[in-house]
Amino acid sequence: MAPALRLSIRPKQPQRVFCPFSFHFHSQSVGDTHLVSRFENNHEDQAIRKAFDKPWIDAGSSFSSPASVGMFGYSQLQESEDLMRIAQRTVRKCGLIVNRICRSFSPHRSPGPHDPVRNDTKLAFLKCVGMFDRLSDGLCRVIDLAELIRNLHPDPKWIDAANRCHGLLCRYMNTLNTHRDLYNALDSVLNQLPTAHQDPDLFAARAVALQFLRDFHRHGIHLPSSSLKRLVELSDRMLLLGRAFFAGSTEAQHPTHVTKPEARMMGLMFTQSLDFDSRGIAYIDPSEWEAHILLRQHPEESVRRRVWMAQNKSTDEQVSVLEALLKTRNEFARLTGKSNWGQVALEDKMARSPENVMTFLSRLATETRPLALKELSQIQEIKQTHSKDTSSQISPWDRDYYANLLNFRSQTPSSSNLAPYFSVGTCLQGLSRLFSLIYGISFRVESHHAKEVWHESVIKIGVIDEKEGRIGTIYCDLFDRENKSRGAAHYTVLCSRRTDVDDDSSDFQFLPSQAEPLIDDIYPSLSDCELLQVPITKRKGREGTYQRPIVVFSCSFDPPNPASGQPGLLAWSDVETLFHEMGHAMHSMIGQTDYHNVSGTRCPTDLVELPSILMEHFASCTSVLGLFARHYADDRPLDRKAFRDYLAHQTNFKGLETNAQIVMAALDQHYHSDIASLDEFDSTVEYHKIQDRFGLLASVPEASWQTKFGHLHGYGAGYYSYLFDRVIAGKVWQEIFESKALSRESGEKYKEEVLAWGGGRESWEGIGKLLKDPIVEMGGLAAIDRVGSWGLWKDS
C-alpha cells in the first residue's frame, strides 16, 4: 500500500497476515438451522459458493473488454506502458496542486480583498488539508496500483512497467518530503487554529495535517542543510542495512547434521528422505522441515540440542548488520529531535511512547505467567516420566518434544480431516452471510471485463449495503499459481474520499504564467496534467460525492480441480487467514471517511489488526460455523465435538506461546531504546537480558537468535501491536459478541464506534465507548495498564 502521502513518502507495504498465535473456540447453544435457511433461495448467496468452488461452470463471468475498459475498469490503463504515461501526468497534476497550496496558504502571501479564506482560519485549514489529501490520493492511486501489479501480475512487461512507475513517483514524493514551501503552508494554517484540538469536528482534518507534519519532520525539514545532508545519508543507510538484515534473517542457515543411527530412531521413511555421505552423515538446513521434525520428535536430547543451537545461532556478520541498523536508527532519531527510534515509531500510535508499551507488556506478562507456568509444569512432569534425566529442568530444545508427547496422548482429528468442510466457496459464502446478519452488508459476485483483472482466476465481488447500495469492490486473488507471491496480503488500491470539494478545475488559475515552470520545475500543460480518473458516486444520507474503496486480497490456496470436481479445500489455519484478511477488507469498506489519509485501514498500526483478529474469533464461534462449515460433497454440517476437540488440541500451550511473543515484543522495544546509542552495545547480551527478564526458560549463553527476528526490519518498535490488538479483540469479543455473535445490534455498535471512523477519530475514544469504559476512553498510561490487565485467556 502506498503512503497516505502523509507524505509518508515512503511507500507503505501491503498488510500481510501475521498471526503469531490464534486460539479461540466459542461455544454457543444457538440454533443456526433457521439462519441458514434464510439464504437457501438467495441466488446471489448461492453464486458466491459456485464462483469459487466450481468456476468452470460459469465461464461467462468475464467478457471481452471494449476499448474504453482497462485494469480495474480504468480507461487510462489498458496496456502496460499506460502506467508510465499515467505516472508522468500524475506528477504534472500534483505539481499544479503543490503550486496552488503554496500560493494559497503561504504565510508570506498577500491575500486579495475577495480571498474566501482571508479571515476564516477554520476554512483556510480545511481547504489546505483537503488539498494535501487530494495530492496524497492522486499519488497513491498510482503507487498503490503499481505495488499490486508488481506483486501479483504474471506478465513481466506489466511488472517492469510497474517498477518504473513506482520508482518515478517515489522519487517525486521524496522531493515533497523536503519541500519547505509546502511545509510552511500547512504549518501556518494549523498554527492559526489554536482551538483545533477542542473541536471534535476537526479531529479527522487535524489528524491528516499532523501526519503530514510528522513526516516532514522525520525527513528533516526543520534541520540546517548540513544536518539534513546527514539525515539523508542515514535514511539511505537504514534502507540498505534493513534489506541486508531481512535477507539474512530468511536465507539458508549453516547446516546442522544427523548421523544414520540417529536418523533411524525416527523411522525408515525419515531416514530414506535424507542424503547421507560416505561417513553416514546427512546435512540439513535448520530452517527446513527435517530439522523441525527432529526438534519435535527425536528422543535423544543431544540431537535436539544440536538442531536447536543451529536454529538459534547467528554469524558475526549477521550480528554486525543488525547492530549497525539499530545504531543507525538511533542516530537518525536523535538527529530529528527524539531520544531513540522507539519515540519516532510510536509518536502517532495509540501507545504513544516506549514507556507505555513496556507498561502494557509487563502487565500482560504478569497476567499470562500463571497459565504459562502451569503448562510448563505439565511438560516437566512428562519429562520426568520419559527421560533418564531425573532433573525436571526444561531446556528450550525440550519444549516442543515433550509438548508433542503430551498432545500425542489425546486422539484428535487432524486439520486434513476437517478440510472437506471448509471449501473456499463455502467460507466466502459464510462470510457474506455473517456480514449480512451483523452489518447489513453482503457480497455479490460480479462479471468483469477481461482486461479488468491480471489473471483469469481473479473473482470480482461487489460489496452491497442494504441501505446504501453498492459501497465498494473486493477483487479476490485467492488461488496459488506459478510465480505468484506466497502468503496472504491485503492491498488497498483505492481509498474512500470526498471529491466534490476538490475544485480541481481551478488549479491552473493559480499559475502566474503557463509559459513558466512551476515552483518545482514542472511545466504545466492542460493536455498532460491529469490524475488517474476513478468513479465517484453519491452517498445516501451524506453531502457531496465520494470515490469508493477498491481492495484486493491475495492468498495462495490450492485451486479447485475441474477434473475431479473438488473445490479448493482449506486447513483450519487457512480458514483463519481468510477471516483475518476479510477483517482488513471490511474495515476498508466500512471506514469510508472524507479524507483518504484516514480511510479504512489507514489508522494507527496498533489499531489496524483489531478488526482482522476479531474476525478470527468469529471463525471459531459455533453459531458462525453453522453458516458455512459444511462438507463440499454432500453438504453435511461439521461435527462440532470433533472440531472442539481439534481446537482444544491446538491450544494446549497458549500461555507459553503468549510468553514467547511477549519476549519478542520486549526485545523489539529494548533494541530501539537508548541502549542502542551506547558504544558497548551488544545485541546478544541484551537479548539474554530480555529472555531472562520476561521468559520462563533460562537463556542459553551460546545462543544468538536475534538475527532470525526478521520483524525487526519492517516492524521496528511496533511488534507489540499484534499482542496489543489481540488483547483488545479478545475483550471486544467477550463483552460485545460472545453471547450474541450474530446480533445485528452488536454488529452495528461495533461498526459505528470503531470501523466507520477509520483513523478519523481518537482510537481510544472509539474502543472506550464501545466497551463503556471511561478509563480506556481517556487513553494514556491508565488505559494502557487497563488493556494489559485484561490478559488473553479467561482461565489464566
Question: For cell 480506556, what's the residue?
Answer: 776
**768 within 8 A of 783, measured Cβ to Cβ:** yes
Q: Is 465 helix (H, G, I), strand (E, B) or coil?
A: strand
d(CA 469, CA 543) in angstroms, rounded, equals 16
Q: Is 79 helix (H, G, I), strand (E, B) or coil?
A: coil
Strand order in the sheet with 545-547: 497-498, 545-547, 536-538
Instruction: Name the grid cell of 749.
Output: 455498535
DSSP-derived secondary structure for 744-760: HHHHHHHHHHTGGGTTS
Amino acid at 531: L
Q: Which helix (H) or strand (E) covers residue 174, if one does? A: helix 156-177
Exposed (0-12), middle (13-18) or buried (19+): which is 654, by Cβ within 10 Å? buried
d(CA 786, CA 594) in angstroms, rounded, equals 32
**12 within 8 A of 3, measured Cβ to Cβ:** yes
**718 within 8 A of 709, measured Cβ to Cβ:** no
Q: Is 479 helix (H, G, I), strand (E, B) or coil?
A: strand
* Longest CA span, the chain: 93
**629 within 8 A of 748, measured Cβ to Cβ:** no
Any idea what DSSP says for residue 63?
Answer: E
- Regarding beta strands 281-284 and 489-494, do their DSSP bridges make them parallel or antiparallel, or are they unpaired? unpaired
- Indicate the angle between helix axes 424-439 and 572-590, nearest 10 degrees: 40
Instruction: Name the grid cell of 212.
Output: 503530514
Helices (H), 626-719: 640-650, 654-671, 683-694, 711-714
Amino acid at 465: D
The three-state DSSP-derived secondary structure of 348-393 is CCCCCCHHHHHHHHHHHHHHHHHHHHHHHHHHHHHHHHHCCCCCCC
Q: What is the CB neighbour count within 10 angstroms for residue 739?
A: 12
DSSP-derived secondary structure for 520-561: TS----TTT--PPP--EEE-TTSSSEEEPPEEEEEEEEPPPB
Buried b (16+ CB within 10 A) or exposed e, 17-54: bbbebbbbbbebeeebeebbeebeeeeebebbbbbbbb
CA angle, residues 151, 611, 736, in degrees to nearest 5: 165
User: Is 581 known to be catalytic?
Assistant: yes
d(CA 258, CA 586) in angstroms, rounded, equals 49
Any idea what DSSP says for residue 303?
Answer: H
First-residue to last-residue Cα distance in the chain: 38
Q: Is 639 helix (H, G, I), strand (E, B) or coil?
A: coil
Catalytic residue, candidates 147, 367, 576, 581: 581
R_g (Cα) of the chain, nearest Å: 27
Among all residues, which ones are annotated catalytic?
Answer: 581
